[in-house]
Structure 1
Amino acid sequence: MPQRLPKRPGIVLASAQCVKLPNVMNKIAGYALGIALLGSAHSQADEGFWLPQQLDANSPLLAQLNLTAQERANGLPLPQLNQTVVRLGRCSGAFVSASGLLLTSADCVADYLPQDAAAGLNNSNRAAEQPLTGLTAKLLLQSRDVSSQVQRALGVATDAEDKAARLAQLKTTLLSDCESAADIRCQLVAEHHGLQYRLEQYRRLADVRLVYLPPAATDDNSSGWPRYAANYVLLRVYADDQGQSLAYNAAHQPLQSRFARLSDTALSEQQLILTALFVGQTRRYRPASELKFQFDSWYPQALTYQQQMLQLLRELVPAGSERSLRYGALLTQVQHQFERQQARLQQYHRSTLYNDKQAAQQALAQWISSSPVRQQLYGPALQQLESLLGQQQQLALRDLVLDYLQYARLPALARELYQLAQLPDNERAQAASQFSPRLAAFEQQFDARVDMELALHFLGQYASLPSALRVAALDQYFALNDGFNREIVKHKLSAIYRGTGLTRAQMRQYWLGRPASDFVQSQDPLLSFTVALAPALEQLAAQRQQLALQLEQARAAAMEVVLAYNEAHNIASYADANGSLRISLGRISGFAPADAVWYQPFSSLAAWQRRQGQAQVTEATPAIAVNFLASNDSCHSNPSGISFNQQGELVGVMFGAVPANLLSGWQYQAQTGRTVQVDARFIRWQLKQVGQTAILTELEHTAATAQ
């Protein structure tokens, strides 16, 4: 069952054959990927997911950003950030004491919190700090450029498939050498689709415990402004006497950590702040043609499927029925997905994103056409764009409906069981053990009639695809070659659902871990259908993989073109985000959401107290902001980060963004793109109000020690 949108392909500005471009590769480390395709003429302090090494004191980038002379003279506190910031899934946290005290957004740990934390957890001593099972923090120890080593190994590859195989082999070697201890984890990170590679080494910290959660960590205004959210949480990392934190152990002691001082200085408008964040995949460099496909074809089609599914579920799953217990979560999930995508589509139609992309590509095309040499070097690459991108877009529409077919859980389960069956004997038992909890939960999420109706509906949607995009084996089984006959398809589905043993928990458990030969010999109609369809699905997977490899190689060639353009125009910029640590520079700043409207950048403590129903605010109420707006770059789907001032003090916890940020994965909006953060001074004030004297003492002792 699909839990997220299918991945979309990237910009293709070059053919699969890479061309050697003069004097480009040596610019990557200093400037990273350019912004030519963003439609922006100049770099700004606000825009950009910068690698830490791009912002060091000797970087030429600093002179090109929108910093004042005094800000450049003061420098950036990168060493403090690098030593204190940790990764929590896709979120950021930071150590704020020498005893492993960790500050992050409450949203980041919501899935790990114990049930009694919902009303606020007020621990007065460390013995009461609760383990958060499954939550792991990762502290970045080292990021090393290994581009030369990787490129030498890949330089002898004969084609895209050979290159991928060599990269996989080299990755295994690099990670094996890097992970020198039990608590060390490493990853090979590709920038610019493989023009540059970095080997990142992290310390894994798995004994993480809950220290304090505010009683009301979220507010009732999830998208607008002003906001008054106490959206933060304090955790603590524990470790053994060797500093290792492999798993929870009651004998562990608080980790001795480097830390950032929690600021007690008021923020001011236009103040420069730095946000450390681990942003997932962004799409800032996608071409106008792909953007148009995404928002004019793919999103509308996905919304149509979601709307149809919602209508079908509401008809089949009446409120208060037994089925509503099984499908209530799915209904809510699809409804939320529909609302998010609809809002994103509406925002797109109000934006200038497509026109900006077109203008940027025209500038690139004019630069190429103005030189016969550039035409020869870069022209053939651009000519391949529509062919490769057109292939992918057609497959994407087919794969979209196939993904929604997986909401029919029983056929999807049969495919998963058969995939497990095809594993080698020594791997199958372990995989089956890991799969068993999902199988146990299947009974509470499945109803045969609802499942069959979902399969019937999306088979009808699949049948409307052009014949060239359909799967011959699927068409043949359901007699779709002459069109979709609902009665015929329903009859065949009914025979499958009536005849299969997988509708019973005992038989599902029986088939878990059975060898593939048993599936082949089975007379179960669903298993027979699954085995018959498997070769066609494997062929589709191979087709996707081959195209993905070609596209990745083409994107790398495209990035070389963009880098050449940027070098010629003295543009310094950043690579698309990919989950690694990035630094975003921004300013405390309000914005105008509409004509004659101006949002101030601070929501006040006095207003927060009135919203809480507290006594009349007096002159003694401190002038403290609860939340503030900042222009730091972020991705709307993952607005998590920790912000610092130029002294390296922690000033805010980023937890959200305004509605105008909905398209921030595609483009930074300087005028309206704002993140929402909890002010560090409010955190201090609230801890005092709820009597968290032990935490405050720890923070103050930490601050005094640091000084």
Structure 2
Amino acid sequence: MFHFLRSAAFLAASLLLLPTAVFADEGMWLPLLLKQLNEADMQKKGLKLKAEDIYSINKGSLKDAVVQFGGGCTGEIISDQGLLLTNHHCGYGQIQQHSSVEKDYLTKGYWAMTRAEELPNPGLTATFIVRMEDVTNQVLAGIAPGTAEAEREKQVQANGQKVAQAATQGTHYQAFVRSMFGGNEYYLFVTEVFQDVRLVGAPPSSIGKFGGDTDNWAWPRHTGDFSIFRIYAGPDNKPAPYSAQNVPFKPRHHLPISLAGIKPGDFTLVFGFPGRTNEYLTSWGVDEVYSVDDPARVKVRTALLKIWNEDMLASDKVRIQYAAKYASIANYWKKWQGEMRGLKKLDAVQRKRNQEVEFTKWVAADATRQSTYGNLLPQLQANYAQERDYVLARAYVTEAAFGVELLRFANTYAPLLDMVASKASATDIKTQADKTRTGISNFFRNYNAPTDQKVAGALLRIYAEETPAALLPEYVKTLKAQNTTPTAWQNFANELFAKTRLATEANAQKMLDEVATGNTALLTTDPAYQLASAIQTTLRTKIQPTYQTAADNITLLQRTYVAGLRQWQTTRKFYPDANSTLRVAYGQVAGYQPADGVHYDYYTTLDGIMQKADPNNPEFEVSPRLMELYQKKDYGPYAVNGTVPVAFTATNHTTGGNSGSPVINGRGELIGTNFDRDWEGTMSDIMYDPDRVRNIALDVRYMLFVVDKFAGAGHLVKEMTLVDGKGKALDGKVKIKQK
């Protein structure tokens, strides 16, 4: 059992002040700095490796088995032939693109039984980090203190590009520079980007999405959230565009897979690319998230998802078209709800206020500190007050107005229209027209106009009614006065879709041809384009300038505030907020107590899947094949105590982007694949709570069971390096099923 026993007095005190030392398992640490900051603590918790075994530029290390999968997930290399494991929801878009009503891989799953059957995915990449380096001095060279934020950012970008170019000159590598601690430090990341990544295997949705939205961001969890890809390279093992002549990539390191299992207290390391956190926000920043931004976005997405869900249930074609979009929108819709609940439970705004009181006392005790930080917090408060309505307006533009796909699509014509108006060269116009033509085809592949028409009726009403009146286009103010009921707004949407020429692919392509030849009148008089243009113009001219001014001021002030926190809290180990760069989070296997009288164990099993099974609920359908294996207890070598482990929880600090991250034990072996957080802990992007924050991981034994026993794809398991509880290879000792 895992819980913290606290006296009433200690609990009260902990709610008033943030700690001066980071919580035990809080943190998303830069691998480059593990030796000096974390190695001793990690080893104390059970790590058997050294920091150099995790991150090294001189030899193969754990970092060489971790990739950024696409633009927003993580994956891990699990064989010496480039086999890549990630989440089912990370590969969902690729699975969907290969699916049709006739070949419904989303529902039925897909397994390549030969290399020739592995499916290419244009545009999908796998990115390795070759090395990272502190380049703060180079990036900030020549930038005078007090430089305006916009000008400072230009100089930072220019210096960063020079650093990146110098680091990769004469190589096939790529590089970028990313700021840390709000721009107080800068780090260079040199990367190797592979462009030929092929789909190898994916379980059916009844496994990969078991539990659906009901179980998303929840524990206990029983989802087999994984998919398998393979990286291909040129004959020289270097990145190459897709070619039939490419060969499986040979990695510097791949993760052995442990069949030994887990127990409470076991060391866990999550290695991946967490997307975005804001741990050092002030009270006004937290309140903006909690009271303004999250509620607006949840309100809009609730209406959107209801309509999409109804139409997806009524049509297999719409279900496949909208599957990936729905999953993406629903994911953060539920996350934001949990985040608001968690921030409220922690009394996060008040805790931040209390920290600011103590910070102010520290500042007041020294004249030098007063000159640097004395006006900092009042200025932050004033800028947050200034941007509040503009944050709300931006949320309703992006979520509601441009939640209508037709309007978002209409804006894609704007660059071509501008080129024609400015009399650009025929070559440039043709290039832009070809780009737009491809975009039109891609858009309509996953678009259903009747569904979007219903969405327009619901979301345009929300946009008009909830946006501060001063920040609405005059056109929309008129519509708001004319349409005062949901029925009236739907009638307006019906008329809009009846009159526009942008709701069908054929007409949209004809419109493109007209604009490309200089005839812009059809587009500029189209009602959908007129509405989209009015909204976009108001965003650009009325909303964005004031918002950006306040946001730039906050960025500059926040940078100073973080520097002050680091100067004040000298005993605290600070980690930079997540920004989609490679990080290490470490912790231990543990259950948790979400509420009084409730305790969650640290693992789930196949038995729980059968307990949740409901043939009348698509989210909890169980495949007949899985039911057969369960009834026969045909679990192969993956069983424990008469069942198969499915998922487990640990105390690692994770966020979006950690989806697909390897969960690694103290010996550097794969024990799980991270795929979620508990709902009670989703506020950890802003404030970590050791009692409630848990990452959720797929147990590797369930992955192996599904691949081997369920799918009969034992040839994939044979590629992997399976090890026992002492790290000894099990080659030849595990019977693998093959069709």
TM-score range, shorter chain: 0.7 to 0.9
Number of the residue aligned with 1:382: 377
Number of the residue aligned with 1:110: 92
Pick one of 113, 118, 124 that aligns with 1:129. 118
Number of the residue aligned with 1:615: 631
Matches of 2:567 and 2:709 in 1, distance apart?
57
Matches of 1:609 and 1:318 in 2, distance apart?
26
1:49/1:251 CA distance change after superposition, 3 Å: same
Q: Out of 547-556 and 423-432, give the one that drifted further.
A: 423-432
Question: Is the contact made by 1:260 and 1:649 (CA closer than 8 Å) also made in structure 2?
Answer: yes
Question: Is the contact made by 1:192 and 1:559 (CA closer than 8 Å) also made in structure 2?
Answer: yes
Question: Is the contact made by 2:124 and 2:195 (CA closer than 8 Å) also made in structure 1?
Answer: yes
1:59-118 Cα offsets, whole Å, 9 max, x none, are: 04445x476387589667314212211110322222222221222222221211243544
Offset, 1:582: 0.6
Name the amino acid aligned to 1:230.
G
Pick one of 210, 213, 219 that aligns with 1:219. 210
Please say if 1:196 is aligned against 2:216.
no
Name the amino acid aligned to 2:194.
L
Question: Is the contact made by 2:217 and 2:334 (CA closer than 8 Å) also made in structure 1?
Answer: no
Pick one of 227, 234, 239 that aligns with 2:233. 239
Number of the residue aligned with 1:86: 67
Matches of 2:533 and 2:179 in 1, distance apart?
37
Number of the residue aligned with 1:97: 79
- The within-5 A match list for 1:167-566 is 167-180=156-169, 183-214=172-203, 216-220=207-211, 221-257=215-251, 258-306=253-301, 339-403=334-398, 404-408=400-404, 412-423=408-419, 424-425=424-425, 427-440=428-441, 441=443, 444-446=447-449, 453=457, 457-458=461-462, 460-461=464-465, 465=468, 467=470, 470=471, 474-475=473-474, 484=481, 486=483, 502=502, 508-512=508-512, 514=515, 519=520, 524=525, 526=527, 537-540=539-542, 541-566=544-569
Partner-residue secondary structure (3-state), 1:234:
strand
Structure 2 stretches lacking a partner, 5+ long: 1-14, 56-60, 614-625, 732-739
Question: Is the contact made by 1:93 and 1:641 (CA closer than 8 Å) also made in structure 2?
Answer: yes
Matches of 1:333 and 1:515 in 2, distance apart?
34
Offset, 1:319: 9.0
Matches of 1:582 and 1:37 in 2, distance apart?
30
Matches of 1:556 and 1:261 in 2, distance apart?
41
Matches of 1:37 and 1:638 in 2, distance apart?
31
Pick one of 49, 54, 70 that aligns with 2:28. 49
Name the amino acid aligned to 1:590.
G
Please say if 1:676 is aligned against 2:676.
no
Offset, 1:185: 2.6
Partner-residue secondary structure (3-state), 1:592:
strand
Matches of 1:643 and 1:321 in 2, distance apart?
38
Name the amino acid aligned to 1:95.
I
Q: Out of 223-232 and 335-344, give the one that drifted further.
A: 335-344
Name the amino acid aligned to 1:419.
P
Partner-residue secondary structure (3-state), 1:186:
strand
1:172/1:351 CA distance change after superposition, 3 Å: same
Matches of 1:107 and 1:451 in 2, distance apart?
24
Q: Out of 156-165 and 369-378, give the one that drifted further.
A: 156-165
Please say if 1:698 is aligned against 2:702.
no
Matches of 2:227 and 2:539 in 1, distance apart?
45
Matches of 1:374 and 1:584 in 2, distance apart?
33
Offset, 1:302: 3.9
1:521-562 Cα offsets, whole Å, 9 max, x none, are: 987364678778876554344444444433322222222111
Matches of 2:255 and 2:563 in 1, distance apart?
39
1:416/1:97 CA distance change after superposition, 3 Å: closer
Number of the residue aligned with 2:132: 143
1:261/1:379 CA distance change after superposition, 3 Å: same
Number of the residue aligned with 2:665: 645
Matches of 1:507 and 1:180 in 2, distance apart?
47
Number of the residue aligned with 2:58: none
Partner-residue secondary structure (3-state), 2:720:
helix
Q: Out of 622-631 and 141-150, give the one that drifted further.
A: 622-631
How many pairs are equivalent? Answer: 659
Question: Is the contact made by 2:412 and 2:436 (CA closer than 8 Å) also made in structure 1?
Answer: no
1:201/1:429 CA distance change after superposition, 3 Å: farther
Number of the residue aligned with 1:10: none
Instruction: Give aligned-pair identity as a percent.
Output: 19
Name the amino acid aligned to 2:83.
L
- The within-5 A match list for 1:627-642 is 627-635=647-655, 639-642=659-662
Offset, 1:181: 6.6
Name the amino acid aligned to 1:670.
P
Of structures 1 and 2, the one with the larger relative CO (CA 8 A, separation 6+) is: 1
Matches of 1:142 and 1:234 in 2, distance apart?
26
1:553/1:429 CA distance change after superposition, 3 Å: farther
1:250/1:163 CA distance change after superposition, 3 Å: same
Q: TM-score, normalised by structure 1?
A: 0.80
- The within-5 A match list for 1:7-18 is none
Partner-residue secondary structure (3-state), 2:276:
coil
Name the amino acid aligned to 1:43.
V
Offset, 1:380: 1.6
Question: Is the contact made by 2:121 and 2:198 (CA closer than 8 Å) also made in structure 1?
Answer: yes
Matches of 1:75 and 1:199 in 2, distance apart?
19
Structure 1 stretches lacking a partner, 5+ long: 1-35
Offset, 1:237: 1.6
Name the amino acid aligned to 1:446.
A
Question: Is the contact made by 1:46 and 1:633 (CA closer than 8 Å) also made in structure 2?
Answer: yes
Offset, 1:588: 0.9
Offset, 1:497: 7.7
Matches of 2:413 and 2:179 in 1, distance apart?
33
